[in-house]
Every structure is written in structure tokens, then in C-alpha cells.
Amino acid sequence: MEVVEKTKISGAEWEIMRVVWTLKNATSKDISSVLQNKMDWKPATTKTLIGRLVKKGALITENEGNRFIYSAAVSEEAEVKNAAQSILQNVCNRKVGETIADLLSEATLSHDDVALLESILEEKKLTAVDEVPCDCVPGQCTCQHMHG
Ligand SMILES: [Zn+2]
């Protein structure tokens, strides 16, 4: 499995991205004021994180007079999907089901969410295999010991 990570937004940077995705265009002051209560960052911290995101290509900077306006260069949907997939890339293929089950059992879900998941599971039943093949490097999981 190939790891595709272009931007790779880190923990604290997600806080910034979520504000920019919501506001569409934001100054560092806008971002600071949204996160003020939640994060208790100094303005310099916010600016450092914004700078990193610009460098990573996740944020676009525009000059408006003497202000910098930031907007997102990557979509929220795509980034959330990437982040979710990268979690699953960190476990053995055989543990993916268990990992998803853990996430699922801890989530608060609406009736619509449950219906959506049920329909996906119904489809998955049609293509389920007896044993998920492990493609780990020997030494990174214990599957080979049990089956090799
Ligand atoms: Zn494995």
C-alpha cells in the first residue's frame, strides 16, 4: 500500500484549517479570535502555525492593503479522507476491520448515520473474504509467524 501524503496537516494545524474552511477567507486575527477560548494560544503561536500551513501548501496568502488574508488550498473533505486513510495505513491489513470497529463503537451516530453504515456493510458482505491478506514487512506485525 502506497502512502500518499502531500500536505499532512498536524494536530494543532487542524485547528487553524477548520477555522479557514469555515470562514473561507480569514486573517490571523480572525483565526485567533475563533480559537481564543479553545486553544489559549498566543497570537505568535497562531502565526507560526499559519506560516507552516502556507509552507505546506495547505493555505494560500493574499495581500489586501497591509493585511494578509488566508484561504484554504485543500478541501476539507479531501483532507479528512486522507487523515482517516492514513490511520488505516498504520495498521496491518488484518487489523483494519477491528480498528474501524473501535472507531465506530466510540462514535455518537444519528439514525441516518447508522442506516448509511448498514448499507455499506450489506455491500461489504458480498465481497468479504475468509481471511484478509497481510502485506506487512516481516517484523512489523505477527501475521507471518502465524501463517508463514
Ligand atoms: Zn500484517
**Residues forming a β-bridge with 62:** 69
For residue 83, report the distance from its CA to the centre of ligand 1, in Å. 21
Tens of pLDDT, residues 47-76: 999 999 999 999 999 998 989 999 999 999
Residue 95: count other Cβ atoms within 10 Å of its Cβ.
Answer: 17
Q: Which residue has the cell 478541501?
A: 75
Give domain limits for the chain: 11-72
For residue 145, report the distance from its CA to the centre of ligand 1, in Å. 10
How far is residue 133's CA from residue 93's CA, in Å, rounded to a whole number?
7
For residue 98, report the distance from its CA to the centre of ligand 1, in Å. 13
Tens of pLDDT, residues 94-103: 999 999 999 9
For residue 124, report the distance from its CA to the centre of ligand 1, in Å. 21
Strands (E) located in the chain: 59-64, 67-72
Q: What is the pLDDT of residue 145?
A: 58
Q: pLDDT grade, residue 143 (50/70/90)?
A: confident
- Predicted confidence (pLDDT) at residue 93 exceeds the cutoff of 90: yes
For residue 8, report the distance from its CA to the centre of ligand 1, in Å. 24
For residue 144, report the distance from its CA to the centre of ligand 1, in Å. 7
**Residues forming a β-bridge with 107:** none
- Predicted confidence (pLDDT) at residue 3 exceeds the cutoff of 70: no
Q: What is the pLDDT of residue 1?
A: 42
For residue 128, report the distance from its CA to the centre of ligand 1, in Å. 18
Given 1.10.10.10, 3.60.15.10, 3.40.30.10, 2.30.42.10, which CATH number is that of 11-72? 1.10.10.10
Q: What is the pLDDT of residue 6?
A: 58
Q: What is the pLDDT of residue 146?
A: 56
**Residues forming a β-bridge with 24:** none
Q: What is the pLDDT of residue 135?
A: 87
